[in-house]
Amino acid sequence: MELYPAFVSKHSNMRPALIAAACAAIGSVKGQQQLLGQESQTTEPPNIVFILTDDQDVHLQSLDYMPLVRKHLLEKGTYYDKHYCTTAVCCPARVTLFTGKAAHNTNITDVNPPYGGYPKFVKQGFNSKYLPVWLQEAGYNVYYTGKLFNAHNVDNYDSPYPAGFTSSDFLLDPFTYNYLNSSFQRNQEPPVSHEGEYVTDVMAQKAYGLLDEAVEAKKPFFLMVAPSAPHADIQNNSGSLTFDAPVSAPRHRDLFKHVKVPRTVNFNPNVPSGANWIRALDQQNTTNVDWNDHFYRQRLRSLQAVDEMVDGLFERLKSHDLLDNTYIFYSSDNGFHIGQHRMQPGKSTGCEEDINIPLVVRGPNVPINETTQLVSSHTDIAATIFSIANIPLRDDFDGSPIPLTAPAIESATSKRREHVQVEYWGFAGGEGIFDRRLHVNNTFKGIRIFGEGYNLYYQIWCTNEHELYDMSKDPKQMKNLLLDDSRVDVVAGHPIERVVERLDALLMVQKSCTGEVCREPWRSLHPDGKVMTLEDAMASRYDKFYEKQVKVEWDFCHNGYVPEAEGPMFEDQGVEFRDGGFMWPDWSRHVSQTHLKHPTADLHIIMNGNMNLYAKLDGGDAIPIKKSIWTTFTTVAKEKPDHVAVVSRSQPSDLLASVVGKTSNNPKVGLEWTYAQLAQGGLNIASVMKSYGVRQNSVLLAFLPPVCAEWSLLWWTANCLGVTLVTIDKRALEPARVDELTFYIRSLQPESVVVCESQDAAAVDDICAELQHSIKSKVTLDAGDGTAGWTGLATFDSSVDSNDHAVDTNDTDYDRTAVILYTSGTSTGQPKGCPLTEKNLVFGWLISKPFSSKVTGVATRIIMMFANSRAINLQMCSKCWLIGGTVVYLSTGFTPEGVLSTTKQEAITDSIIIPPMLGAIVSHPTFSKESVKSVERVFVGGDMAMAELQDVVTKNFVNAQIVSVYGMTEGLGVVGWPDTRVPTRIPVSTGLLAQGSILPGSVLKIVNDDDAVAKREETGDIHIKSPVMIDSYRDNMAADTFYEDEEGRWFKTGDVGFIDKKDHFYVLGRKKDIIKRLGVPVPPILLENVLASFGGVQASVIGLPNRRLGAEIVAVVSNVSKATPQELKNLVVEHLGPDYALSKVFSLQELGMQEFPVNVTGKVMKIELRKAVEGVLSRES
Catalytic positions: 90
Residue 159 per-residue DSSP state: T
Residue of 956, 953, 955, 957 lying closest to 965 (CA atoms): 953
Closest residue by Cα to residue 653 from 643, 642, 639, 664: 664
DSSP-assigned beta bridge partners for residue 946: 992
CA 1048/CA 924 separation, integer angstroms: 49
C-alpha–C-alpha distance, residues 1123 and 1138, integer Å: 19
Q: Are 486 and 480 in contact (CB under 8 A)?
A: yes
* CA–CA gap between residue 472 and residue 450 (Å, rounded): 10
Q: Which of 74, 88, 96, 94 is nearest to 372 (CA)?
A: 74
3-state secondary structure of 181: strand
- The closest of 976, 915, 923, 977 to 948, measured between CA atoms, is 915
Handedness of CA 862, 868, 872, 878 (dihedral sign): positive
Rg of the chain on CA atoms, in Å? 34
Residue 65 is given by DSSP the state G
Closest of 171, 168, 173, 181 to residue 53, by C-alpha? 171
Rounded-to-integer distance, Cα 461 and Cα 422, Å: 12
Which residue type sits at 1048?
G
> Using CA atoms, how far apart are residues 765 and 758, in angstroms rounded to an integer?
11
Residue 180's CB is within 10 A of a number of other CB atoms, namely: 16
Strand 1110-1117, strand 1142-1147: pairing: parallel
DSSP state letters, 946-975 = BTHHHHHHHHH-TT-EEEE---BTTBSSSE
230 preceded by cis ω (within 30°)?
yes
Angle between helices 871-882 and 710-721 (to 10 degrees): 70
Q: What is the C-alpha separation between 1114 and 1091, in angstroms, rounded?
A: 12
Judge if the upstream peptide bond of residue 705 is cis by omega within 30 degrees of 0.
no
Q: Measured between alpha carbons, how far is 863 from 921 in angstroms, rounded to an integer?
A: 14
| Separation of alpha carbons 599 and 613, rounded Å | 20
DSSP state of 132: H
Q: Regarding beta strands 167-171 and 181-186, do their DSSP bridges make them parallel or antiparallel, or are they unpaired?
A: antiparallel
For residues 396 and 381, what is the distance between their CA atoms, to the nearest angstrom? 14
- Inter-CA distances, 1161 with 316, 833, 895, 944, 945, Å: 71, 11, 19, 19, 21
254/1129 Cα distance (integer angstroms): 49
> Among 365, 371, 375, which residue's Cα sits nearest to residue 407?
365
Whole-number Å distance between alpha carbons of 727 and 655 = 20
Q: Report long-range pairs for 249-254 (Cβ below 8 Å, ≥24 apart).
A: 249/198, 249/200, 249/201, 249/301, 249/302, 249/304, 249/305, 250/198, 252/301, 252/302, 252/304, 252/305, 253/301
